[in-house]
């Protein structure tokens, strides 16, 4: 059975307990080895990948994004649901709310961000997050009566430090709604690989200078753990609503597809 759906679990999303008949897989890519799990949900094969490792040992600026997306492409994945813990710059986006990101601002600095290593490829990013997957997630959230915003701009910073209040003020002036450290280059690489990609952002706190207290990673983990059941419900409902056979503009994002090597030579 083809594995066409994947979940990339971010901070606080480490356990694929939502899937049955789990098996471990290790894939070799030109960018490194990737470990993930594959299981079943309602008769469909789903890949589950922990972005930061099962023990949360990989910081956001050292995640091997290219290897992860290349591995999912090898499996034949066509749709990726990614989760992310985020800080909020928008007072309407409160802690424990979900946001279906539709745009990003990239403030990363030193991450390999493309599969393109020869030739010239200019990738259209008018809609970086798949509109079809976002609509499926929104329908699922409404059916489950979960607090969910249909759109928001994600500001991606390099990390691993949190942002200063001055930076947050700037990001807000530029139109940012959320701040996190992982969506870029993951979303860009997925588009280059012609895979539909959507981020379910969970607000864990208000950002620096907005929050009344200092930020801590422990706070982020606690909120994600506390609201994790709702996140799992949202993901599983979205997977159940996703048509088994579907085509999407994301699958044809490039006039001349980017060469994503399948394995080491």
The answer for residues whose C-beta is within 8 angstroms of residue 130's C-beta and 6 or more apart is 79, 196, 197, 198, 248, 250
Residue 256 lies in a domain: no
Matching residue, tokens 């139109």: 175
How do beta strands 196-206 and 98-100 pair?
Answer: antiparallel
pLDDT (0 to 100) of residue 257:
61
The alpha carbon of 71 is separated from its chain's Cα centroid by a whole number of angstroms, namely 15
pLDDT for the residue numbered 53:
78
Those residues of the chain that have pLDDT short of 70 are: 1, 11-17, 211-221, 224, 255-265
Whether residue 263 is contained in a domain is answered as no
Query: 212: how many CB neighbours lie within 10 A of its CB?
Result: 5
Contacts of 186 (CB under 8 A, 6+ apart): 8, 51, 65, 68, 69, 82, 197
* Any domain includes 265: no
For residue 180, give the CATH number of its domain: 3.40.50.1580
Q: Global pTM?
A: 0.91
Strand duo 98-100 + 79-88: pairing: unpaired
Q: Is residue 257 part of a domain?
A: no
- pLDDT computed for residue 259 by the predictor: 62
> Does some domain include residue 251?
no
179 within some domain: yes
In a domain, 15, yes or no: yes
Cβ neighbours, 10 Å, residue 229: 9
* Element housing 169 (H / E): helix 165-173
Can you tell me the distance from the alpha carbon of 72 to that of 124, in angstroms, rounded to the nearest whole number?
A: 21
Q: Which domain range does residue 226 map to? A: 5-246
The pLDDT value given to residue 147: 96
The pLDDT score that the predictor gives to residue 265 is 47
User: Domain for residue 261, yes or no?
Assistant: no
Quote the Cα angle for 61-64-67, to 5°.
Answer: 160
**What integer pLDDT is reported at residue 179 of this predicted model?**
97
Task: Please give the torsion angle defined by the CA atoms of residues 10, 220, 164 and 127, in that order, rounded to the nearest 10 degrees.
Answer: 40
- For the chain, what is the domain count? 1
């Amino acid at each position: 059975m083809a594995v066409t759906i994947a979940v990339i679990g971010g901070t606080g999303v480490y356990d694929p307990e939502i899937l049955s008949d789990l098996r471990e897989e290790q894939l070799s890519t030109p960018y490194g080895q990737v470990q993930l799990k594959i299981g079943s949900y309602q008769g469909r094969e789903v890949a589950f990948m922990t972005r930061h490792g099962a023990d949360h040992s990989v910081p956001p600026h050292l995640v091997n994004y290219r290897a992860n997306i290349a591995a999912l492409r090898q499996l034949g994945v066509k749709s990726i649901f990614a989760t992310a813990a985020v800080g909020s710059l928008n007072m309407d986006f409160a802690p424990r709310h979900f946001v279906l990101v539709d745009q990003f601002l990239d403030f990363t600095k030193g991450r390999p961000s493309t599969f393109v290593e020869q030739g010239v490829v200019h990738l259209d990013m008018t809609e970086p997050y798949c509109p079809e997957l976002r609509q499926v997630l929104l329908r699922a959230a409404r059916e489950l009566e979960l607090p969910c915003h249909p759109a928001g701009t994600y500001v991606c910073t390099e990390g691993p430090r949190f942002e200063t209040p001055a930076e947050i003020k700037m990001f807000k002036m530029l139109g940012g709604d959320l701040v996190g450290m992982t969506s870029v280059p993951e979303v860009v690489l997925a588009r280059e690989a012609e895979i539909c990609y959507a981020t379910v952002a969970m607000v864990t706190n208000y950002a620096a200078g907005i929050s009344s207290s200092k930020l801590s990673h422990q706070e982020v983990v606690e909120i994600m753990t506390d609201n994790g059941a709702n996140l799992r419900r949202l993901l599983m409902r979205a997977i159940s609503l996703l048509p088994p056979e579907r085509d999407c503009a994301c699958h044809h994002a490039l006039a001349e597809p980017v060469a994503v090597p399948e394995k080491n030579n």
